Amino acid sequence: MSRAAPHGVTPLGPNRRSGGPLRIGVLVSATGANLNTLLGMQKRQPDAFQVCLVASHGSTAKALDVARDAGVETWTGDFDAYCGLASKAVGDEGRLRYRRRAREWHDTLDARIADWEARHGALDLVVLAYHRWIEGSLLTRFEGRMINQHPGDLSVLDASNRRLLVGNDPVRLAMTAGHTTTRTSCFLVDARHDGGAVLCMGPPVPVEGRRATPEDAWEQELRQKDLSDRPCLEWTVRAFAAGRLALGEGTHADGSRGVLVDGRPTELGGRRLA
């Protein structure tokens, strides 16, 4: 019989039948590097991990071909046709309309996933490698079971305790600020902008004299994908499957929940891999 969690502690982990593999859904936008990491885990331990479903907001992501080649069910979409482009959503009314349509689009995706789960079995974890903002029922239903890889150190805060390396170009931001290393963070997705509890950070990757140009920043990010993204995601998924993770009662300076690993509190950034 499992013991109840201490007061204020929220265990993270799948509520699934004993002995079955961790059932994973993946939302993709780009090359499929994180998807390949998950498929590699499945290939090595098919009894422990299973990528069951891959969905995208578009139809041209290379990750979709990665999924198809692996025999994983794939779904395409046309988010931009339904919602328009975020860059064209100007003014309060335009931004509100874009946000409302984006929520409707993801609510529809959530309903489709729920229908799929009723026929094929529940997903234990959703992994994002995804370039769209999620709100609504999809976010709510997978609360505590949706993680995202972010190519920036989310423990770096400004004087007001706000996360500095957020947004679309955190590697270049770090290099511009003179950081000598960059690293990937894996965090729980919530309604905030790159603001959820950080579960793990991958090993730091030396900048090695690269400058904060678009070309050098992209070269640094490619190195980071292999040296920091992959181990960060692998550790997080394994820890999630093993029930090693929980949210503590307190919060960090940035307002995010504290993360417990094996019942022990961690500093902001969760488990930091060397």
The pLDDT score that the predictor gives to residue 3 is 47
Indicate whether 195 pLDDT > 60: yes
Q: 62-69 and 33-44 are packed helices; what angle lies between their axes, rounded to 10 degrees?
A: 20
**181-182 and 205-206: which strand pairing?**
antiparallel
Domains within the chain, CATH numbers bracketed:
10-272 (3.40.50.170)
Q: Does pLDDT of 4 surpass 60?
A: no
Retrieve residue 245's tokens. Answer: 């993770």
C-alpha to C-alpha distance for 113 and 125, rounded to whole angstroms: 12
Identify which of 248, 252, 250, 272 has the alpha carbon closest to the alpha carbon of residue 260.
248
Angle at 258 between CA 49 and CA 5, to 5 degrees: 70
Give the pLDDT confidence of 137-191 residue by residue, as tens digits: 999 999 999 999 999 999 999 999 999 999 989 999 999 999 999 999 999 999 8
The pLDDT confidence band at residue 6, using thresholds 50, 70 and 90, is: low
Contact 26/49 with Cβ under 8 angstroms? no
Amino acid 67 reads A
Q: What is the pLDDT of residue 5?
A: 60
- Greater confidence, 193 or 83? 83
**pLDDT per residue as tens digits for the range 203-232:** 999 999 999 999 999 999 999 999 999 999
pLDDT of residue 8 exceeding 90, the answer is no
User: CA 63 from chain center: how many Å?
Assistant: 15
Give the torsion sign (CA, 110, 112, 113, 114).
Answer: positive
Residue 218 contacts residue 172 (beta carbons within 8 Å): no
CA distance 144 to 139: 9
pLDDT above 90 covers a percentage of the chain that reads 90
Backbone CA torsion sign across 250, 271, 6, 242: positive
The overall average pLDDT reported for the chain is 94
Q: What is the number of helices (H) and of strands (E) in the chain?
A: 8, 14
Q: What is the pLDDT of residue 175?
A: 98
CA 120 to chain centre: 23
What is the pLDDT averaged over residues 246-268?
96
Quickly state the pLDDT bin for 239 (edges 50, 70, 90): very high
Confidence of residue 13 (pLDDT cuts 50, 70, 90): confident
Dist CA 73 CA 50 (whole Å): 12
Q: Give whole-number Cα distances, 159 to 3, 150, 165, 192, 268, in Å.
A: 41, 22, 14, 19, 16
| Cα 198 to Cα 232: distance, rounded to the nearest angstrom | 11
Q: CA-CA distance, 152 to 84, in Å (whole number)?
A: 28
